[in-house]
Structure 1
Amino acid sequence: MAENSQLLLEKGAGKQSNYYENCPGCAIERLKCSNVGIPLKHLFFIGTVTLSAALPITSLFPFLYFMIGDFHIAKTEEDIGYYAGYVGSSFMFGRALTSLLWGLVADRYGRKPVILIGTVAVVIFNTLFGLSSNFWMAVSMRFLLGSLSGVLGPMRAYASEICHKEYQALGMSVISTSWGVGLVIGPAIGGYLAQPADKYPEIFSKQSVFGRFPYLLPCLLISLFAVVVSVVCCWLPETLHIHCQNKEYAAYNGVEAAAYDSTLQERDGNSGDSLPTSQSSLLKNWPLMSSIITYCVFQLHDMAYTEIFSLWAISPRNSGGLSYTTSEVGETLSITGLGLLLFQLFLYPVVERILGTIMVSRIGAVLSVPLLSTYPYIAMLSGFWLSVVLDSASVLKNVFSVSITTGLFLLQNRAVSQEQRGAANGISMSAMSLSKAIGPAAGGSLFSWAQKRQGASVLPGDQMIFFLLNVIEVIGLLMTFKPFLVLPEDNVSNRKHETSEESR
């Protein structure tokens, strides 16, 4: 057998462990055996890459209202939210079409190539979006950015593979934190840096490139950060097990896989939570699919909320909004990002260990409902108290949202083996992206409709908006209970690796 598929046997902890030379996945397993601590360097890589992928998703929302106005496509001011929803949705629609493909590529060729392609796509297409001169160019650039951004699924698989089981919650928390911080810091960057020639005329003139393209600066800053992350990715170790280097080993591996399937069926013969053994049967894995469907409902809510929050804050007082500037929205979201970061790094792992994954998600959903119900009344405040109350509500809402998604991330990765994680996360990302594509379009249309019914006798204006958001949240909460949501067994994701070692 060739050298690059040579089996290495090592003894440790009272049992024999099997590794293959030049297999990156085996190298990671050996590293985990020799270093039982928290992989801080790898978690830093994970957080940085995830942040770069999250920043462009929502960075446009604070200035999208004005961008659509500059395109002169909306006939009335109330129609701006309608067109804004389609620009916001185009990214997620593109990602919904390609996420499963990127997941399969990650399972076949490794996590690292997909991550590199995704970060380079941010560099190119996010910059081009900032240079958009009309509505259709903006939609096209966002669609292409979403189509080539297959980072989150492989990063979720990567985090579960780079960490020991006791630190997997921390790994997922890092992803959720970076993702959540990106989703709130992105709008902060967009809010502070959009239209720089108007806000900072002493630095940027009307005749400069940033004066002619008023929304380029925030996009360019995010793209430059993605350039740095693309370089960092060169040091990102691969975690996928690649053993089939020649036909001889491929034949051996096929026999081994058949032996594994037989062993697994004997072990799980009477279990209702058994793990499907091929990618074609992932759709029959109800612990996986139920967590994905529940996750999509919450993501639909979160994306609609993100779109509506910025539009609501910027819209005039006589329409039920707060008359905020893009800079004020950016300030609120910066505070939100800081609060979210502190919670996820220092509190979430502790709370998750005490209460359990699913209980944390349920508590977050329950508390979100009364919180959202207060938003229409926040619009009645002004000055200092408006800032304090709005900032506090925004921090709490995003903390609850990220707590929900972190728990569902963990359930999805525990429901499959390593060989299926890329495909499973691809299915999750496709379904989630579709729901997120619906979110901004529905949120923008809902916002435009609500602004036209300020004098309604039942739930006028923004009261209707937040009521419907609460309806979606309650539906998601109910789906976290049996018989809909089935929890995977804790050791399900490690079975194939353990059984493979026993069979050798």
Structure 2
Amino acid sequence: MSCANSDETRLLLSDDNLETQRAVKAKGTPLPLVQLGVLCSVRITEPIAFTQIFPYINNFISSLHVTDDPKRIGFYSGLVESVFAIFQLLSIYNLAKLSDKVGRRPVILFGITGIAVTTVLFGLSKSLPMMLIARALAGLCSGNTAVIHAVVGELTDASNQAVALPLYGLVWPLGSIIGPLLGGTFSHPASKFQFLDWAFLRNYPYFLPCFISGVLGILGVVFGFFYLEETLPSKRSVKVEKPQFLSRAASASSTLYGTMEPSELSRKLSEPHSFTSLLSKSVIRALCGSGFALNFLAGGFEVVFVLYCYSAIEDGGLGLPTEQIGYSLSGSGILAMLLQILLMPYLMRTFDKAKVYNFCMCLFPFMFIVLSMLNLIARRGYDEVTGVMNSHTTGLLWAGIALVLSMSRVVNLSFALSMMLAKEYSPNEASLGVTNALVQFSMCLSRAVSPAFVSSIFALSIDHNLLGGYLWVVIMVMVSLGGIYQSATIANASESRF
């Protein structure tokens, strides 16, 4: 049953009883610190396993002699990342639906176990097909991302999200500190550490960082097995009342469902909406569209930044060694963690989440433009005969790298904001998992094409001097503008609610 007061740009279960919501917010729900900490401890193993390959992936592919052309290495490294995302895309919806039947906990623990095992297999790769198989299996196991997001949504409500979400958001930046440090420090350990000069590590120079990541993953699974509690309402022994959703549901019943018996209303509010029903709302479509652009741009930046740093200055890059790439990524991870702790709670209390989300998306075009200028800086002080860069240029170059990485970490606040907005615009509690799955599906779809596409466009731009070698910048800026438009739609919908 529909109602004339229903508007697809408004929060679907909201605003007719603002006083009730304010009362709930003022009273506040205790922050579930223990369970949130356990979930973060389990979750952190995934970004560690994912980011630890970044410092050495191009060297790894080069050592396999996949291609004799150094400019083609970026295409294959992008292919490795795309395979991961493609198989994650195939599993994300199925794992989300499975978690609605068997519970969140077993799906999460299964996924983390699979990631740990496949990461070790990746370190044992001796050919490109084996690398692709390992990453494909890891992608299948990583489809539990939407399930983990749903758990956070089930643990929190509007009164404690401003604290809980930034804490949960620390997981990825902390993992992005540890992962590149592992990859940059422990790749080729036999040549770096005398006590690790073993024949096995000489034959498998990238095994050790993968093995350490795998062990951390198994430890996370063991910890989660004993301490992570089930949050799916139908599987919990004690059902905890969710004041935000219940008050919102009660106040919105007349708007959404008209006059209805309590039992019928309860059934309606407990029914998950279909994908078609969700996509009929413009704000949900905008969340999916902006999520697609966000993950496409963020994933593309990760690939092109490492490739840009790895490529020689003469080939349009910066010519940095693996260790410096790893340390720069870890340093930016520390900044991301500080932003989550110090800045995110303030932004949530002070500004509208949709507007902050839109602002973060607006930084993308400037980020790619500044990155493209770093090679121009490097060329000014680089001596091609000696291969040495003067100190003044080196200082400017690292200042530029710091600026670009700082912008990228501010932009990454959008991921936590996207998850919060998905919860806000979810029609009811039962649809939270499906809504998260839909948004995550859009994000995974973009990550499936972004790495290979961006690395290929980067190589083509340099090889054929397309638009002076900057075609890749123009394309990324255009995608950025599309993402900004979608995020602005969400911001406008947020304004229209009041």
Mark the CA change 1:286 to 1:482 in structure 2 (over 3 Å): closer, same or farther.
closer
Corresponding residue for residue 155 of structure 1: 148
Shift of 1:261: 10
Check if 1:320 corresponds to 2:311.
Answer: no
**Residue type of the alignment partner of 1:65:** N
User: Do 1:305 and 1:469's aligned partners in 2 also have CA atoms closer than 8 Å?
Assistant: no
Greater displacement, 435-444 / 34-43: 34-43
Q: Equivalent residue of 1:214, what SS?
A: coil
Mark the CA change 1:489 to 1:297 in structure 2 (over 3 Å): closer, same or farther.
same
Shift of 1:342: 0.6
Q: Equivalent residue of 1:160, what SS?
A: helix
Which of 341, 345, 350 is the aligned partner of 1:349? 345
Corresponding residue for residue 442 of structure 2: 431
Shift of 1:183: 4.0
Check if 1:368 corresponds to 2:358.
Answer: no
- What's the TM-score once normalised by structure 2's chain length? 0.80
Shift of 1:269: 5.6
Shift of 1:74: 1.5
Shift of 1:386: 2.2
Greater displacement, 433-442 / 274-283: 274-283
Q: Equivalent residue of 1:237, what SS?
A: coil
User: Do 1:479 and 1:485's aligned partners in 2 also have CA atoms closer than 8 Å?
Assistant: no
Corresponding residue for residue 279 of structure 1: 273
Q: Equivalent residue of 1:396, what SS?
A: helix
Q: Distance in 2 between matches of 1:348 and 1:121?
A: 32
Corresponding residue for residue 464 of structure 1: 471
Corresponding residue for residue 495 of structure 1: none
Shift of 1:186: 2.4
Corresponding residue for residue 227 of structure 1: 218
Shift of 1:263: 9.8
- What's the TM-score once normalised by structure 1's chain length? 0.79
Check if 1:398 corresponds to 2:392.
Answer: no
Q: Distance in 2 between matches of 1:214 and 1:96?
A: 30
Corresponding residue for residue 411 of structure 1: 421
Q: Distance in 1 between matches of 2:492 and 2:98?
A: 29
* Percent of aligned positions that are identical: 23
Mark the CA change 1:224 to 1:489 in structure 2 (over 3 Å): closer, same or farther.
farther
Alignment of 1:252-291 (within 5 A): 266-268=254-256, 277-280=271-274, 281-291=277-287
Mark the CA change 1:197 to 1:384 in structure 2 (over 3 Å): closer, same or farther.
farther
User: Do 2:103 and 2:235's aligned partners in 1 also have CA atoms closer than 8 Å?
Assistant: no
Corresponding residue for residue 501 of structure 1: none
Corresponding residue for residue 62 of structure 1: 55
Corresponding residue for residue 450 of structure 1: 461
Question: Deviation per CA, 1:358-403, whole angstroms, max 9, x where unpaired?
Answer: 1111211223322331222223143233223312321222222x22
Question: Deviation per CA, 1:117-140, whole angstroms, max 9, x where unpaired?
Answer: 111112211100110110001001
Check if 1:204 corresponds to 2:192.
Answer: no
Corresponding residue for residue 90 of structure 1: 83
**Residue type of the alignment partner of 2:485:** L
User: Do 2:299 and 2:451's aligned partners in 1 also have CA atoms closer than 8 Å?
Assistant: yes
Alignment of 1:157-172 (within 5 A): 157-172=150-165
Between the two proteins, the alignment pairs up a number of residues equal to: 436
Mark the CA change 1:44 to 1:483 in structure 2 (over 3 Å): closer, same or farther.
closer
Corresponding residue for residue 479 of structure 1: 486
Q: Equivalent residue of 2:234, what SS?
A: coil
Corresponding residue for residue 237 of structure 1: 229
**Residue type of the alignment partner of 1:345:** I
User: Do 2:173 and 2:334's aligned partners in 1 also have CA atoms closer than 8 Å?
Assistant: no
Shift of 1:406: 1.9
User: Do 1:292 and 1:412's aligned partners in 2 also have CA atoms closer than 8 Å?
Assistant: no
Q: What's the C-alpha RMSD, in Å, of the aligned pairs?
A: 3.0
Q: Distance in 2 between matches of 1:38 and 1:490?
A: 27
